[in-house]
Structure 1
Amino acid sequence: MNWLSEHFWVEVLRGTRKLLGNLCWALVVSLGSIGFLCVGTSSYLAKNLLSYEQINFFPQGIVMSFYGIAGFFVSSYLWCAIFWNVGRGYDKFDRKKGMVYLFRWGFPGKNRRTFFFFRVKEIEAIIIKVNKEDSYASRISIGIRGQGPIPLARTDENLTSQEIEEKAVELAHFLRVPMDIE
């Protein structure tokens, strides 16, 4: 949900709870790691638990068990990121007060909440970083005097370079600041 008025521009960011992205990958990696662990365990026990061909524990069973354990850790990371909805937040541009607020949720701990705020007067430019090899890899950043660029998250998956440029132009026009392309 994005909201735009004469004085406010608010972009709400979804975070890691994306059905076709992270949820599907977490499910696939979880099921794959369970399968690898079952094959490794059945080779160790020398019993055919999954009605597959029996494989030797050394070296195939060890490798399958290693892949299963590694997949378990990766899927645990993905499920935790989804549960805590890491990356969710908002970008609020308040032209009336002359302030910019950037808020993101992270992993639990001391720095779970990330909150930046600064004056519009401190913005040097809206920066577009273009990757010429990949048309979906362009990024928008806000260049702040004395701090360097602060990246803004993409509001949607698979924005083309042209759509990112249009968004950056709209933002620069809204904030009345210059634009820079790197």
Structure 2
Amino acid sequence: MITTADVMAHLASGNERQQDAYYALQGSGLLQRLAAHQPYPAGTVPIDIDIPGSDLDLLCEAADLGAFEALVNRELSGMQGFQCKRGNGRAGQHPYMTCCVEVGNWPVEIFAQRVPVIRQNAYVHMLVEWELLQLWGAAGHHEIRKLKLKGWKTEPAFASVLGLQGNSYEEMLRIAAWNRDELRSWARLNTSFQFE
């Protein structure tokens, strides 16, 4: 799932909820309206750990948040649930903007930052989580969903089953920097549930 087209193809051929997300995104025209900002579907839906109430995430690159804000106000303000807010980012992070809309049965959160999508934390988190789920198989999907249904956020759920200490978001970024073999070898030794 490297490009937006790859993720959309994955959703189109996925389970019922993934296909519903695909049709919602296609029907809304969001990808076309945000095309200049390389919109990338991310989060729990593409990696099949979403639960009822999960939203669709779209990551965007916006060199100029003011211009991005003007675009979304022009293109999306008429959509149901529309709202936007800016944030300064945590220490060492870039300012960002989030916009929410509803398409079909899905709440959609659009996240824009000056950073290229492939360097945004949400993208990096999703890739390492996908790699871990490929290792864990159905048992991993079940375990993460179980924690999410108890109210856990995604990164803390992964950190918990891996026994990671400290800030789960930072720890997930840390292990994302490992190569595939290092990650898989380490995860085999540290995962708290049984998998094949």
TM, length-normalised to structure 1:
0.26
Which has the higher Rg, Structure 1 or Structure 2?
1
Q: Name the structure where helix makes up a greater proportion of residues.
A: 2
TM, length-normalised to structure 2:
0.25
Q: Name the structure where strand makes up a greater proportion of residues.
A: 1
